[in-house]
């Protein structure tokens, strides 16, 4: 991923006079030139090309020539690494979890499991999962493989998650991610726009309200998976945790539905990333996003801490 030793300055901003002190609001597209500029004599044109700085001559104001786009640092290196490490690790946890869980849904005709069903009261709509599903994913009789991977990769999942949360706290990046009072309203707006029920997105910061809620929730779900997982893994030694979660079977139920939650998050996340386009996706690899100069700056958002 990108070399962090490069200049932190946003590429594309030619040094413009007074830029450093320019308040954020004024970034909004100034007219590139005045009407009088067309009457400028030739030598001045040359000067503009060579020295693209603001200058005043004969009361004609020429704005500095800058690129119309810039590269903006969106995702820090640590976040990109941990994001991508988490992807195969969480996949392995879910996959190995399915291999383990198959063993309980096996011969359900004889001992119907009480835990993973969808239903109301005593009416069961569906037991998870049907036989064809297990066959399709080739899960049957691979329990020991599942247990082996699950109890190996749990360390990677936990350590990566712990590092991620620590990094967010230490760097302050959490402020861009944790929802605030406006996030819920904004999330509704964003969702309506996504569903083509409304036009006009709210001003996009690093993350919009829906993203803030989703990304924070998925981190909390990760914590939940670790806690419920531990309470299932060592239900005697940490039986107080298991009891707090509502008992062993309840903890399993929670562990399972959190997993379904991850799968749901994954689907929405991938669809949204595809819709957001390459520039956005690339930023999760390179760290940088190409933005129009007049778009709100994430660096500016960071500076408001």
Partner 1 sequence: MTVEKLVEEQVQELDAQVQRESGRRSRRSFLTAAVAAAGGYGFYRWIDRSPGDQLIPRPLRKALNLNEAVTRTVFDERGLAPTYSLAKAEELRVNGIYGLKEELVPESYRLQMVGVEQANKFPQYVSDVTAWEYKYAAKKDEGGKDDAASGNHDTKVAPKTEGAATEGASAMKMSPAFEAAFADLKKSQGSKRPRGQEEAGESDNTLDAGTPGLLLKLEDVTRFEHRELVTQFKCIEGWSQVVHWGGVRLADLIAAYPPAKKADGSLPKYVYMETPDGDYYCGYDLNVCMHPQSLLVTEMMGRSLGQWHGAPLRLHMPIKYGYKQIKRIGLIAYTDMLPDDYWTKLGYDWYAGL
Q: Count residues near partner 1 (CB under 8 A).
A: 61
Only segment of 22-30, 96-104, 127-135, 203-211 that touches partner 1 (CB under 8 A): 96-104
Interface segment toward partner 1; rule CB under 8 A; list 10-18, 20-28, 164-172, 196-204: 10-18
- Minimal distance in Å, beta carbon 249 to partner 1? 6
Is residue 208 helix, strand or coil? coil
Least separation in angstroms between residue 87's CB and partner 1 is 9
175, 205 Cβ separation under 8 angstroms: no
Burial annotation 208-238 (CB, 10 A radius, 16+ → b, else e): bbbbbbbbbebbebbebbbbbbbbbeebeee
Using CB under 8 A, pick the residue from 18, 56, 59, 111 that binds partner 1.
111
Give the whole-angstrom CA distance, residue 55 versus residue 86.
51
Q: Name the residue among 241, 213, 206, 222 with its Cα closest to residue 165.
A: 222
**Which listed residue (19, 45, 57, 131) binds partner 1 by CB under 8 A?**
45
59 is a contact residue toward partner 1 (CB under 8 A):
no
* Nearer to partner 1 (CB atom), residue 88 or residue 172: 88
**Is 135 among the residues that bind partner 1 (CB under 8 A)?**
no
Q: Which token pair is 44? A: 């001045």
Nearest to partner 1 of 75, 212 (CB atom): 75
Task: Out of 103, 171, 216, 272, point to the residue binding partner 1 (CB under 8 A).
Answer: 103
Q: Where do we find the tokens 């082996």?
A: 148
d(CA 173, CA 154): 25
> Across the strands, what pairs with 292?
69
Unique residue bearing structure tokens 């064809």: 132
Confirm or reject binding of residue 68 to partner 1 (CB under 8 A): yes
Work out which of 84, 166, 204, 263 binds partner 1, going by CB under 8 A. 84
**287 forms part of the interface with partner 1 (CB under 8 A):** yes
Q: Is 37 in the site for partner 1 (CB under 8 A)?
A: yes
Residue choice 88, 130, 172, 264 for contact with partner 1 (CB under 8 A): 88
**What sign does the dihedral 72-265-235-93 (CA atoms) show?**
negative
Rounded distance, CA 69 to CA 62, Å? 19
Residue among 27, 94, 127, 145 that touches partner 1 (CB under 8 A): 145
Closest CA to 217 of 250, 242, 187: 187
Distance of CA 73 to the CA centre of its chain: 15
Tell whether residue 74 is a contact of partner 1 (CB under 8 A). no
Residues 253, 104: contact at Cβ < 8 Å? no
CB of 251 to partner 1, least distance (A): 11
Which residue(s) pair with 57 in the sheet? 60
- β pairing state of 60-62 and 55-57: antiparallel
* In contact, 202 and 186? CB cutoff 8 Å: yes
- Which stretches of the chain bind partner 1, using CB under 8 A? 1-3, 11-12, 14, 32-33, 37-38, 40, 45, 48-49, 52, 65-71, 84-85, 88, 92, 100-101, 103-104, 106-107, 110-111, 113, 115, 143-145, 147-149, 151-152, 155, 234-239, 243, 248-249, 252, 282, 285-288, 290
């Amino acid at each position: 991923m990108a070399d962090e030793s490069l200049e932190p300055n946003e590429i594309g901003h030619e040094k413009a006079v007074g830029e450093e002190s320019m308040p954020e609001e004024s970034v909004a597209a100034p007219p590139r030139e005045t009407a009088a500029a067309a009457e400028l004599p030739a030598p001045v044109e040359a000067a503009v090309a060579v020295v693209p700085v603001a200058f005043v001559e004969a009361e004609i104001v020429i704005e500095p020539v800058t690129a119309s786009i810039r590269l903006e640092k969106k995702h820090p290196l640590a976040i990109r690494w941990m994001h991508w490490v988490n992807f195969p690790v969480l996949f392995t946890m879910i996959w190995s979890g399915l291999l383990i869980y198959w063993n309980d849904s096996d011969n359900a005709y004889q001992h119907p499991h009480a835990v993973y069903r969808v239903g109301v009261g005593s009416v069961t709509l569906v037991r998870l999962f049907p036989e064809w599903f297990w066959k399709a994913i080739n899960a049957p009789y691979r329990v020991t493989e599942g247990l082996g991977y699950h109890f190996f990769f749990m360390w990677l999942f936990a350590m990566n998650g712990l590092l991620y949360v620590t990094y967010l706290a230490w760097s302050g990046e959490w402020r861009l991610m944790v929802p605030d009072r406006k996030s819920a309203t904004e999330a509704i707006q964003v969702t309506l726009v996504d569903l083509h029920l409304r036009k006009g997105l709210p001003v996009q910061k690093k993350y919009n309200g829906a993203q803030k809620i989703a990304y924070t929730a998925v981190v909390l779900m990760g914590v939940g998976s670790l806690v419920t997982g531990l309470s299932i893994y060592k239900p005697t030694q940490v039986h107080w945790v298991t009891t707090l979660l509502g008992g062993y079977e309840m903890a399993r139920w929670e562990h399972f539905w959190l997993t379904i939650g991850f799968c749901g998050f994954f689907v929405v996340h991938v669809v949204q990333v595809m819709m957001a386009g390459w520039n956005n996706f690339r930023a999760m690899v390179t760290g940088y996003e190409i933005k129009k100069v007049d778009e709100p700056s994430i660096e500016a958002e960071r500076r408001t801490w």
